[in-house]
Chains A and B, each alone.
Chain A
Amino acid sequence: MSLSKSVDRLVTPGEYPGSNKAKVRWGQLLRASATLAEQEGKLTESSNLVALDSLGHIRGGIVTRANAYFLVREIPFDQIPARMRVTRGDMKRVAVIADGLDHVAKIEREFLKPVIKGPESLESARRQG
């Protein structure tokens, strides 16, 4: 088969009739547990639980595909290497950060956004752990 024919095959829309809207995901089916469901039922009945989706819109997080590059920590002023040549005045506009591979760089503050990487990032979780 020629390359162009192969490409044609790849772009041909499929003919699997029906919707792609699913009521459950395989992840739910994989992790379903009768024991947990029973405990959840008891807790729900006791009114100690509220449905998470009643508190806000629930969705998956952002997948960076390169956490070591995108998730950085800011270096406090007194720990910034001298070679970065920043003054306290500069700190209003720029930050000195270290990425997941400990590469140090300067970045304009407008490009830094706070993120929660996961539950382990929460101080409350650390205190309880």
Chain B
Amino acid sequence: MNALATANDTITLPKFTGKSDAYLWFIVHATQFLKSGGRLSFVVSSAILFSDYGIPLIRFIGHHYRIRAIIDSMVERWFPDADTNTILLMLERDDDGRKRAANDIRFVRLRRPLALLIPDPNSADRRGRIEELLDTMLEAEATEDDPRMQVNLVNQGTDGGLQLAVGDNDEGFLEEDEE
């Protein structure tokens, strides 16, 4: 609980488009409760990976957090009955812009179902094994050879790895979706 902020924080609210998913505001709101070093994990819609509305959210996150890991699965849907596919965001609040910019984001794709990576809910060592797996993902080097996961490392920089346009030069940049 030491990671929770106790003083009023100054967080500039991002400007999200009207097409944005409501969950964005949960992340923004949660940010004010974290001190530097506090961790935030969120299961979010995988739309953040490709949607236009995800870009302002990623910029917001990149402005307040070291983005530790983005975790997805190659082999299963974590909520098979839901219409929405999901990914896992692992964030660590950091007020130091240099540390954030120097951070490497770990893009992790699991190659095994979670049931094979962690013990069942009745197992005594379930929590420890989950934390072990988490530590492995958060410290992993880039790899395509690990049978459990593929990991790509991307520098967070000042734009969350998105390579945002600078100035008016739009050449080579992805078109905004008209939907």
Contact = CB atoms under 8 A, between A and B. Distances in A.
Interface in B111-144: 144
Contacts of A22: 55, 159, 162-165, 173-174
A62 B179 contact: yes
Contact of A26 (B12, B107, B109): B107
A21 B14 CA distance: 15
Most buried by A among B54, B144, B152: B152
Contact of B161 (A26, A31, A63): A26
A23 B144 CA distance: 24
Given A22-B162, A27-B50, A62-B179, A16 B60 contact: yes
Interface residues of B, number: 45
Given A33-B150, A34-B144, A26 B177 contact: no
A27 B55 CA distance: 12
B109 A23 contact: no
Interface residues of A, number: 31
A26 B58 contact: yes
Contacts of B12: 14-16
A20 B172 CA distance: 14
A30 B109 contact: yes
A16 B107 contact: no
Interface of A: 9-10, 12-16, 18-27, 29-35, 59-60, 62-63, 65-67
5 contacts: A16-B14, A16-B56, A22-B162, A23-B164, A29-B107
